[in-house]
Structure 1
Amino acid sequence: MSLEKILSISGKPGLYQLKTQTRTGILAESLIDGKKVTVSARQNVSLLSEIAIYTLTEEVPLRDIFKKIAEKENGGETISHKSSKDELEEYFFEVLPEYDEDRVYPSDIKKVVQWYNLLVKNGITNFSESAEDASEEE
């Protein structure tokens, strides 16, 4: 599975897998505990495939950052998102040295690390460009 079906829902912890669309919104399953939730169309939902991180020159898609972390960690989990602010910033600088420190906050870095670990725990390690690329790789 690629990042095309993975969601971040504001106000809810963790990540969710898009299951189906309903008349009033979507049905999603938590990657943390497997519980299904309905999300209304009024809630703020972001696809991980659409999120990017600011660098000094451009915006880098989240999938590219996940690829860099996976290369650094040989596909395994990385440091805990509960590490200190300095440890998280130091780690993120190793992964993406050109990130914009003025626009990327420690809370953003914490989320990226937490999301990466959650995806790896759930066996979602295909960070390719789109669903077509994912089916070609399999």
Structure 2
Amino acid sequence: MREKLCGSFGSGRPYIGILGEFDALSGLSQKAGSCEKDPVVQDVSWLTPAAQIETATWPSGMPLHTWQTVACGKSSIAYKGMLCAGKVMAASAIDLIEDPELLKAAREEFKRRAKGGYTCPIEPETVPTAL
């Protein structure tokens, strides 16, 4: 196995990540509609083509939304993970800017996959309550 800080999923080759071993990051899927993590991105993804990237920014097994996770945000692991994500996002933007056909193909694929439309599951008259 080779060691990597950043890698693409779906390669089928196992590798060791930060404090964890992944088999091509099993559990992630390259199939449409497989991302079920962020409801905000899900809503937006029905309006325009969208993509997400996740990188390691804290140790494996640490619970989310805790002070420990926040504290890891100042670590070298976090900076490396954020830098990796930024590079991927920038490279993706450059690809789309330099190749108008790529952007056109993404929009056409989006129209094909989202042709059924979308109804937000939150009732329009719903008003958030104060905490």
Interval of TM-score (by shorter of Structure 1 and Structure 2): under 0.3
TM-score (norm 1): 0.25
Structure with higher strand content: 1
Choose 1 or 2 for highest CA Rg. 2
Q: Which has the higher contact order (CA 8 A, sep 6+)?
A: 1
